[in-house]
Amino acid sequence: MDALGMSSQMTGANISAMGAQELQVPKAGSDNETAAQQFEQLLATMLVKEMRKSLPEGFFGSGPGSDSFNGWMDKSIGNNLAASWDLDIAGMVKTSLDNKQARPEQPADGAE
């Protein structure tokens, strides 16, 4: 354990996995708005992560722990970006989920 009480084996992949574990799969009739906002945050975080990869050494260099800090930064900037941008991806996803849940399921083979 280091001074922050974290295992020295914490990596950016672990941080990403922790973020994915926070997402809950919505069940039919549950809160589509929350699911849509989580999707928007995840998308924004992935965009930030890919943009950061284009930097030669990243913001924190390549030393021990840099991947953990990069993961935290990606998530923080991604969440703030999702909360402030005007693309309204969450609104579009929510509308799509609402529409899909409102119409009756059709048989896979097209026969009724």
Q: What is the pLDDT of residues 57-85, one digit of tens each?
A: 777 888 888 888 989 999 999 999 999 98
Is residue 42 included in any domain, yes or no? yes
Domain contains 20: no
Query: Cβ distance 71 to 20 under 8 Å?
Result: no
Residues 6+ apart with CB under 8 A from 28: 101
User: Does any domain span residue 67?
Assistant: yes
35: alpha, beta or left, given left = phi > 0 and alpha = psi -120 to 50? alpha
CA distance 16 to 67: 10
Would 8 be classed as within a structural domain? no
Please report the sign of the dihedral spanned by the C-alpha atoms of residue 51, residue 57, residue 61, residue 62: positive
The CA-CA-CA angle for residues 79, 36, 91, to 5°, reads 100
Is residue 89 assigned to a domain?
Answer: yes
Q: Is residue 22 part of a domain?
A: no
- pLDDT tens digits, one per residue of 47-63: 999 998 888 877 788 88
pTM for the whole thing? 0.64
Tell me the C-alpha distance between 94 and 103, whole Å: 15
Number of domains in the chain: 1
